[in-house]
Amino acid sequence: DGGITQSPKYLFRKEGQNVTLSCEQNLNHDAMYWYRQDPGQGLRLIYYSQIVNDFQKGDIAEGYSVSREKKESFPLTVTSAQKNPTAFYLCASSGTGNSNQPQHFGDGTRLSIL
C-alpha cells in the first residue's frame, strides 16, 4: 500500500543532543511538509519542500533543519538549539507543491526530553 512512514514512533532526547526524525513516502509526491503539534493545539509548519534539493522555512524553523536529497525522503533534525522540543511531529506529502492537493500524513513521532 502507498503511504507515508514516520519513524520512530516515540523518541527521547537528552540535553544538548541532536535527533533526527525519519519520513519516507512511496506516493511519488513532489511536496513534503513537517509540522509540529503541541497538546490541544493546531499544526504549525516547520519546513516544506516542493521538489528535490529544495526546501523552505515555515513559521517555526528555528532550531530545526531538513534535507531533501531524494524525492521519497524528508528527514527532520531537531537540534540542541530547539529549547522546547517536546511535541508531536507530523510529516505530510502532497501531489504537487501548489497547495491545491490534499495532504497525506504519517502517523507522527512523539518527541520528549529526558
Q: Which of residues 6-45 bind another protein (CB under 8 A)?
A: 33, 35, 40-45
CB of 39 to another protein, least distance (A): 11
Confirm if 40 and 98 have CB atoms less than 8 A apart: no
Max intra-chain CA distance, the chain: 40
The span of 19-27, 51-59, 66-74, 77-85 binding another protein (CB under 8 A) equals 51-59
Tell whether residue 90 is a contact of another protein (CB under 8 A).
yes
Polymer length in residues for the chain: 114
Cα angle 72, 75, 81 (rounded to 5 degrees) comes to: 165
Positions touching another protein (CB under 8 A) are: 33, 35, 40-45, 48, 50, 56, 58-59, 90, 97-100, 102-108
